[in-house]
Chains A and B, each alone.
Chain A
């Protein structure tokens, strides 16, 4: 029922015109508003009024500008960081240990036999180029060689480099190449290069090397990858170093542990790796004390004698500290521990916790990254390294139609090998060197919001000492191999101490620098500072604007009505009709259905109009609008009382 009343009132107003003028409204607003400036405009003299008007305007624009600045600052999503540093009981990091050599040579020898023989001959060829050695090449398996051969490039004449095949004299050499007749092995100007061909050997590129060491190593790694990618996983694991062979002693704090506490994982570069405290099946182990006595102590045997000679030129244990339930990226983030030394690693956990969108571009769990995480099969969490590797593998599959051996296998794909994919090496090197590929991966992968790094302080000492060497080796040999002979040597033994430092964490946590409270208090502060205003003042202002619009609407309605009436009265001449006339005109109009001859009436009206209505003075029509005045009056009267 109420709305009907309001509607009627509204209609009533539309007919009667507004109850007040713009000026009244403005004065009323200025007088009653709570903002400080406007009041002064109306209660001062003309000069001061102008001044106050300008000041109010200036301050209002200042407030608007400053509000804009604040809102812009707020929308820039700045963060502030808090840094805390100290010691607390924390989960000990997961420790992944690998041997530098992926496989035991004694076990891998049958697979690598052909390749190693070839390698020996290649080395002889490069180093001692006398053709007398040529007869030894007869028994070699050249299928490996012919796929991606190494060539010598004679660059003594920079304009016309000559490509020399290493086995040029007794094998089919490409056109233009010939056996080096009088090649001085280490003469300047000779370079080794790897020939990578695709499309059945029609398109060939040369991958140049400035040093033979690198060329030979890279060539061997490529060939070995070819071989290993065709071997079933189980066999690879068997070829690697078994845990009971590698991990001789383990002590975590005061708790003894053994190789059984390690989770095995196969890492293509380093063979069998063992993870301590990964937290996959059981809860992570906490460490409540700083210092080497309370950390992890390990004695490892890396068995240097059994290294694959051409694959592992660096001897040592490789280890990486990482967070629980993350995949260890040993090649990127790992460090070495030398044999015959005790390596002590003090750990500081450096944590960075970020807010995520829209504050910083990072991802919480990788679900919003467009790249399928291949490492999720290990049940590990997202990390940027995992994303980059997955991205590379994805590109590899797309460009070369096979997956690279070093990265996990995407479902439905096969690893590259030169038997099934003869062009893969060419394709792989292209991709590896392609900056566009890397940049697209960097663009697509996002950092994870919680980033944990383990800062290490590494120190080393000789171990075991000369005096203790004998008994230590004796005991360890007895334990592992049950033999009275010493089966270990200083060249293979690695001791590791990993422990928390006195300050074991440094946490950098992000929080929003400018939150809603900050924004509101600053907006309020600005408004208050310049004009003494508040939100209520804004509401007042809004109210006034609505009133203004209302007046305008009413006036417009009245104006359009007036226009229509004037058009209707267009035939009339003379002075404009009074209200009474109009009223009567309307009355007449309403009561005369047949308006066929209005002319006599029209003549009659002016006559009637000429003498004013006798007696009472013309009523002050304005005073009829009692409603607004009444309210003011009652207000002011209340004040007076």
Chain B
């Protein structure tokens, strides 16, 4: 008998190779438990004693349960992120810097448009607070000279009357214009009253908005201070007036880049107005963005420190300020990405005149993982809000776009401080008489998150953030003031012909403090590989199981079990049939099982091995032929013995 055959015979003898052929399910189970690779099952079968067997069953089941539980935990925590923070020292792209004068339009130019409104505002102030213009400022001379207040029919105060409420007379208000009391009905909305408890100790001021031709459903907005009320009231009318002015004219009314920028240098080299792009903001007039020119490469800094950043001296002409619209002086600066829309009214740093403001930046870049890790969007294409801005997507852009779209839908016109959606026009009284009421209603709903804008809009997945450290220093210094103002006047001389004062100027330095860029990156904490190996670890730890075991389980518990059951059923059916056909059957019982046995391969046939020859040669045991090899050992010595014999 060949030795290979002998091994196989041994294996065959030791292995009960009869899993699928097992006659009963019980046998199959027994076979499975004995032969499976998972630990535990074998112990159940092998163990003696009922208690021990029970314990082993319990252990095995516990292990299975633990595996299932742990694997479920692994799957449920699959979509988690790990955060890494990296610091690179490298050449950094300089951000876009948008600079605006706080005052949108030169008052001397825009005064004609606003003459009526200003007059009425002054009148209202006089009526309520007994304020009369102090004519200290020469520029207002012409406008405030007009005493013909009584003669003109005020159109602005008629549309939206300013009212003063006194506490003891509920529902009564005093009209600013006529001074007579009038009844106020409808809803009275205190601005922000639902956020803060307003102490109604003093009289409140407000204005009333009514839908056209319907004075019964008016909304009255009240403020605790007249300053807020009048500014808000002024702003409403101002927007209304400005909405009717074409953009071209508005740009001309505002400051030019040459006027705003007295000197400019970047990275040690000079720059001028040509390096800035115009950006017209409805509430801030002409703004200028540095480093945002189309078709040009983004400037970058390769050294940190104030010398190598952007240095500008701004001319802020305080005399041209609108007294009612803006009450602070200076300029506003916003640092943003090149393709980002500058929301200057929301996020801007204000800079003071007669001061040098140095803003040191640190760049932090954040990357978030989008679906399914978090709810952020890569480029806003999957957000169902049309971007009305000519800029890349951001949460703010989305919210404003959403509001503007809703505004056009509900009120039929667009709000002035945001861009126009296609096929819409800005609101004004001539066309939309009650837009203000509509706007305020909508705005309330927006703030209360009733417009769904907040749920629809999603944050962006990647954003750059510049952390700013701003510090102030006096500029120009006492010692240098004299010569510096002279030279600056010469510089600015091409635009204006007047001696500059230090309160007309502001110096601004924007620079990278160092060239370290921090990137905060989210990365998937788990990958498929790690998940699988964690599975493997769990399976291996509790039961020494693997995918092979799983396949085995499927094989044994489903395929084989079914085949056994089917076989039995088939047998029964055949039996039944045979009994029905011929009552005296001949040995029909044995045949099917035998046939099955024949069909199923035996071990040797499976391996395609020749049948083992009769292993038992009768008679003598085989001789120990090892002894024969002596000759060969001898022959090895041959060359040795031959060598000396040859001469």
Stretch at the interface among B140-148, B217-225, B431-439, B471-479: B471-479
* B448 at the binding interface (Cβ < 8 Å): no
Contact of A529 among B35, B474, B513, B540 (CB under 8 A): B540
B349 → A minimal CB distance (Å): 12
Stretch at the interface among B226-234, B450-458, B627-635: B627-635
* 27 sampled A-B residue pairs with Cβ under 8 A: A37-B548, A43-B15, A49-B607, A59-B547, A66-B533, A81-B84, A123-B487, A186-B490, A212-B491, A304-B478, A304-B479, A312-B479, A314-B507, A315-B479, A316-B472, A316-B474, A384-B516, A388-B303, A435-B302, A521-B533, A524-B537, A529-B540, A532-B544, A589-B638, A624-B625, A625-B3, A632-B7
**Considering the complex, which residues of chain B in the window 528-579 have a beta carbon less than 8 Å from any beta carbon of chain A?**
529-530, 532-537, 539-540, 544-549, 551-552
Interface string of B570-611 (1 = CB under 8 A from A): 000000000000000000000000000000110101111000
Whether A15 lies near B632 (C-beta < 8 A) is yes
Q: Bound complex: CA of A233 vs CA of B282, how far in Å?
A: 57
Select from chain A the residue with minimum beta-carbon distance to B304: A332
- Give 11 new A-B contacts, CB below 8 A, not counting A43-B11, A354-B87: A45-B606, A46-B601, A55-B548, A69-B529, A81-B84, A211-B263, A332-B513, A447-B516, A531-B546, A579-B628, A636-B13
Interface string of A167-205 (1 = CB under 8 A from B): 000000000000000000111100000000000000000
Select from chain A the residue with minimum beta-carbon distance to B469: A456
Whether A309 lies near B474 (C-beta < 8 A) is no
Q: Bound complex: CA of A458 vs CA of B513, how far in Å?
A: 16
* A491 at the binding interface (Cβ < 8 Å): yes
Whether A442 lies near B536 (C-beta < 8 A) is no
Whether A616 lies near B617 (C-beta < 8 A) is no
Whether B536 lies near A525 (C-beta < 8 A) is yes
Whether A528 lies near B536 (C-beta < 8 A) is yes
Q: Bound complex: CA of A229 vs CA of B640, how far in Å?
A: 95
Whether A211 lies near B305 (C-beta < 8 A) is no
Whether B3 lies near A622 (C-beta < 8 A) is yes
* B127 at the binding interface (Cβ < 8 Å): no
Residues of A within 8 A of B601 (CB): 45-46
Residues of A within 8 A of B513 (CB): 332-333
* B483 at the binding interface (Cβ < 8 Å): yes
Q: Bound complex: CA of A79 vs CA of B600, how far in Å?
A: 57
Residues of A within 8 A of B470 (CB): 458
Given A211-B262, A593-B645, A629-B3, does the pair A49, B89 have CB atoms closer than 8 Å? no
Given A305-B478, A529-B546, A530-B546, does the pair A451, B87 have CB atoms closer than 8 Å? yes
Contact of A619 among B475, B480, B625 (CB under 8 A): B625
* B486 at the binding interface (Cβ < 8 Å): yes
Whether A80 lies near B82 (C-beta < 8 A) is yes
Interface string of A443-467 (1 = CB under 8 A from B): 0011100010101101010000000
B639 → A minimal CB distance (Å): 10
* A566 at the binding interface (Cβ < 8 Å): no
Interface string of B501-522 (1 = CB under 8 A from A): 0000001000001111000000
Whether B622 lies near A623 (C-beta < 8 A) is yes
B530 → A minimal CB distance (Å): 6
Stretch at the interface among B100-108, B264-272, B394-402, B415-423: B264-272
Whether A210 lies near B263 (C-beta < 8 A) is yes
Whether B472 lies near A460 (C-beta < 8 A) is yes
Residues of A within 8 A of B642 (CB): 593
Contact of A40 among B306, B548, B641 (CB under 8 A): B548
* B297 at the binding interface (Cβ < 8 Å): no
**Considering the complex, which residues of chain A in the window 230-284 have a beta carbon less than 8 Å from any beta carbon of chain B?**
none
Contact of B306 among A70, A331, A447 (CB under 8 A): A331
Residues of B within 8 A of A211 (CB): 262-265, 270, 272, 313, 491
- The 8 tightest CB contacts between A and B, nearest first, are A529-B536, A186-B493, A525-B533, A316-B473, A315-B477, A532-B546, A336-B473, A528-B540
* B424 at the binding interface (Cβ < 8 Å): no
Select from chain B the residue with minimum beta-carbon distance to A448: B89
Whether A621 lies near B625 (C-beta < 8 A) is yes
Q: Is the interface of B mostly helix, strand, loop or mixed?
A: mixed
B553 → A minimal CB distance (Å): 12
Select from chain A the residue with minimum beta-carbon distance to B269: A433
Whether B536 lies near A526 (C-beta < 8 A) is yes
Residues of A within 8 A of B480 (CB): 307, 309-310, 312-313
Interface string of A21-40 (1 = CB under 8 A from B): 10110011001000011011
Residues of A within 8 A of B330 (CB): none
Interface string of B326-369 (1 = CB under 8 A from A): 00000000000000000000000000000110101010000000
**Considering the complex, which residues of chain A in the window 410-459 have a beta carbon less than 8 Å from any beta carbon of chain B?**
432-433, 435, 438-439, 442, 445-447, 451, 453, 455-456, 458
Select from chain B the residue with minimum beta-carbon distance to A39: B37
Whether A81 lies near B83 (C-beta < 8 A) is yes
Contact of B272 among A49, A55, A210, A313 (CB under 8 A): A210
* B182 at the binding interface (Cβ < 8 Å): no
Contact of A310 among B8, B264, B483, B529 (CB under 8 A): B483
Whether A312 lies near B477 (C-beta < 8 A) is yes
Select from chain B the residue with minimum beta-carbon distance to A12: B629
B85 → A minimal CB distance (Å): 5
Whether A445 lies near B548 (C-beta < 8 A) is no
Number of A-B contacts (CB under 8 A): 337
Residues of A within 8 A of B306 (CB): 331-332
B462 → A minimal CB distance (Å): 18
Whether B534 lies near A525 (C-beta < 8 A) is yes
Interface residue count on the B side (C-beta < 8 Å): 115
Given A81-B85, A216-B487, does the pair A314, B548 have CB atoms closer than 8 Å? no
* A385 at the binding interface (Cβ < 8 Å): yes
Select from chain A the residue with minimum beta-carbon distance to B497: A186
User: Max chain B CB contacts within 10 Å: which of A36, A55, A438, A530?
Assistant: A36
Residues of B within 8 A of A528 (CB): 536-537, 539-540, 544, 546
Whether A524 lies near B82 (C-beta < 8 A) is no
Q: Bound complex: CA of A331 vs CA of B304, how far in Å?
A: 9
B438 → A minimal CB distance (Å): 42
Whether B607 lies near A42 (C-beta < 8 A) is yes
Residues of A within 8 A of B477 (CB): 100-101, 304, 307, 312-315
Q: Bound complex: CA of A526 vs CA of B467, how far in Å?
A: 45
Whether B638 lies near A210 (C-beta < 8 A) is no
A625 → B minimal CB distance (Å): 7
Interface string of A517-561 (1 = CB under 8 A from B): 000011111111111110000000000000000000000000000
Whether A213 lies near B493 (C-beta < 8 A) is no
Whether A313 lies near B532 (C-beta < 8 A) is no
* B2 at the binding interface (Cβ < 8 Å): yes
Select from chain B the residue with minimum beta-carbon distance to A352: B87
Whether B479 lies near A44 (C-beta < 8 A) is no
* B4 at the binding interface (Cβ < 8 Å): yes
* A617 at the binding interface (Cβ < 8 Å): yes
Residues of A within 8 A of B37 (CB): 36, 39, 532
A256 → B minimal CB distance (Å): 27
Given A447-B516, A624-B625, does the pair A315, B89 have CB atoms closer than 8 Å? no
User: Max chain A CB contacts within 10 Å: which of B13, B35, B84?
Assistant: B84
Q: Bound complex: CA of A617 vs CA of B623, how far in Å?
A: 11
Q: Bound complex: CA of A583 vs CA of B47, how far in Å?
A: 58
Residues of A within 8 A of B635 (CB): 586-587, 589-590
* B620 at the binding interface (Cβ < 8 Å): yes
Interface string of A60-103 (1 = CB under 8 A from B): 00000010011000000011110100000000000000001100
Residues of B within 8 A of A456 (CB): 469
Whether B631 lies near A587 (C-beta < 8 A) is yes
Residues of A within 8 A of B13 (CB): 636
A99 → B minimal CB distance (Å): 11
User: Max chain A CB contacts within 10 Å: which of B471, B483, B551, B620?
Assistant: B471
Residues of B within 8 A of A307 (CB): 477-480
Q: Bound complex: CA of A21 vs CA of B467, how far in Å?
A: 75
Residues of A within 8 A of B620 (CB): 616
Residues of B within 8 A of A15 (CB): 629, 632
* B86 at the binding interface (Cβ < 8 Å): yes
Whether B85 lies near A522 (C-beta < 8 A) is no
